[in-house]
Amino acid sequence: MKFIFVTGGVVSSLGKGVLTSSLGALLRARGHKVTAVKIDPYINIDAGTMRPYEHGEVFVTAGGSETDLDVGNYERFLDMDTPEGSQITTGQVYQEVIRKERAGEYLSQTVQVIPHVTDEIKRRIRESANRAGADICIIEVGGTVGDIESLPFLEAIRTMRFDEGYENVAYVHLTLAPSVTSGEIKTKPTQHSVAALRSVGITPDFVVVRSSDPLGEDMRKKISLFTSVDPDGVFSSHNLEHIYEVPLTLEDQGLGKAVERRLKLEKVQPNLWFWQDAVKKLKNPSSSVKIGFVGKYVALADAYQSILEGLRHAGIANDARVDVAWISAEELEEVGAENTLLAGLDGILIGPGFGNRGVEGKIKAARYAREQKVPYFGICLGMQVAVIDYARLGGLEGANSTEFDAYSPHKVIDLMPEQLEQQDMGGTMRLGDWPMQIKAGTRMASIYGLPNGGLVKERHRHRYEVNPKYVAALEGAGLVVSAVTPGMRGRGAGLVEAIEIADHPFFVGLQAHPEFKSRPMRPSPPFKAFIEASLEFAKARG
C-alpha cells in the first residue's frame, strides 16, 4: 500500500480537493487502483448538520454517510464509489477513543493525544484504504497548516512514514503565491507555509503552488531554494477555466512521473483521452443552453456543487455549454416575479433544501414550468414542490408539506409513522443508495433505457415523503407516478420515487439525488435527458 498525504497552507479553500482528485486521476490513468480519504479537523461527527452557506454541499456516499463536498470530487474524478470511512473527523476520532477508554480497552493507561489519538487516526486511514481494496490511498488533510485543530492529524501522518517505509509514503503541500498590485507573484507565503509544515516534522516531497498565472522557471527555482524541495518537485496550479483541465496541466508539468519515481511505481504511459476530449467539448461546444437554477443558497455555488457538476457532465455528453442562471427562490415569491426571472430560460431546475424559506417561490417556478411547457427537473424538494403544485391544481386547496405548514388540510408531503418514532435527528433521514422500481412505458423508463421498466439505485438524502394517502388523488388528476420504492414499509407499492407529466416536453421529479452518482465519463441519465430536452426546447423556440 502506498500513501500520499496532501496538506495545505497560507489560506483555506485553495483547491486541495481538486488537487487530490486530479492526482488520483493521473494515477488511475496509469492503471492503479486508487482511493481517497478526507480528513476534517472539526469536532462535528460528519457534515450532515452543517450550514451550506458555511460549509458548502453535503455529499452522500452509497452507504449513507454525509460527508464533505470534496468526497464528491473524489468519486467524480476517480469514477468510483468511496467506501464508508472515507471522511475522518476529529469528532469521530475522539468519540471512538473515549468509547475505548470507557470500555477498558486501554488497560488502565493514561489516554493521551500521543499515541492513542494518533493511533486511532492511522487505524482509520488504513482501514478505509483496505476497505477500498486500493494499492494507492491519497489522504487530504483539511484546514491549514498551523491550525491548532490539525496538529494531531499532522503528527499521525508524520509517523506513518516510519510505520510504512520511506518508499511507501509521500507528502504533497499546496500553497498560495499571490499577485500584488504590480502583477508580481510573491513566494514569501509559500516559504512560510513550508517552514510551518517542516516545524512539525514533515518535509514535503512536492510543492504545488496556487497562483493566478503559471509559475515561471525562475519562480520555481526560487521556491525550490527556500523550501529545500527539488526543482522538479515544484508545480504550478494556476487558474484554469475548467477544473477538468487540472489533471492535464499537472501531467504536462510531470507530476505523475514524479510521483512514480518517488514511490518506486512502475512507469506507465497514462491514458488521458477522456479528459482531453471532455476539455475540448467544454471549451468548444457545438451549442449552448440556459438553465434556471432555483434555490435558497444561490449566493454560494458550493452549496450545489454536485448538481452543477451533473449539469456539466450532461453538457459534455450533449456537446453543449450549460449556462446557469441563479434565481433566488425568495425573490420569486414576489408578485409577478416569475414572469421576469424565469422568462427566456431553456430549462428550470429546482434542487434540494430544508426549511420553509423560499418554498412558495419554488412552487411558483414549478407551476410556471408546467404551464409554460418549459423543461423542468425537480430533485428531492424540487419533486415535492411540483407535487404540492399539482395537488393544488387538482382541487386540494391549501395542500402543502408538514415541513412548511403543520396545519395544512392536505399534507401531501409528510413524515411516515415509523419516522416519528425516531429521536435522533439523523435517524429520520433516508440516506444513501435506495432502489426504485421504474414503471414501464414512462419517461423515466426511457431515461434509464428500460422500456419495460426495471430496478435502479439512486442516492437519497431527505426526511419527508409523498404521503401515500394522496397518491390515488394525484394520479386521478393526471400526475404520473413513474417510480416507487419496491416493497418499502412492507407494501407492494412503496413510497413515491419519481413523478412526471405526460403531455409536457419534459417534466420530471425525483425524490433521490441523481447528481451524487453522476460522473464526467458516465453522466447521470436524468441530467443527460434534461439537457437534451432543454436543447430541443431552445431550438424549437429559435
User: Catalytic residues, which ones?
Assistant: 380, 513, 515
Of 356, 357, 376, nearest to 365 (Cα)?
Answer: 376
Residues 83 and 128: their CA atoms lie apart, in Å, by 7
Q: Sign of torsion, CA 63 69 74 75?
A: positive
Give the amino acid at 307: I
Of 255, 267, 151, nearest to 207 (Cα)?
Answer: 255
Q: Kindly report the three-state secondary structure assignment for every residue of 449-512.
A: CCCCCEEEEEEEEECCEECHHHHHHHHHCCCEEEEECCCHHHCCCCCEEEEECCCCCCEEEECC
Give the 3-state secondary structure of residue 179: strand
Cβ of 218: how many Cβ atoms within 10 Å?
A: 8
Q: Which residues have CB under 8 Å from 134's CB, separation 6+?
A: 1, 33, 34, 35
Q: Is 228 exposed, middle or buried (0-12, 13-18, 19+ CB in 10 A)?
A: exposed
Q: Kindly report the three-state secondary structure assignment for every residue of 72-105.
A: HHHHHHHCCCCCCCCEEEHHHHHHHHHHHHHCCC
Q: Check residue 115 and report its DSSP letter.
A: I
Cβ of 479: how many Cβ atoms within 10 Å?
A: 24
Residue 385 CA, chain-centre distance (Å), reads 23
Of 484, 437, 470, 307, nearest to 379 (Cα)?
Answer: 307
Cβ of 403: how many Cβ atoms within 10 Å?
A: 18
Cell 450549460 found at: 322
Residues 183 and 231: their CA atoms lie apart, in Å, by 23
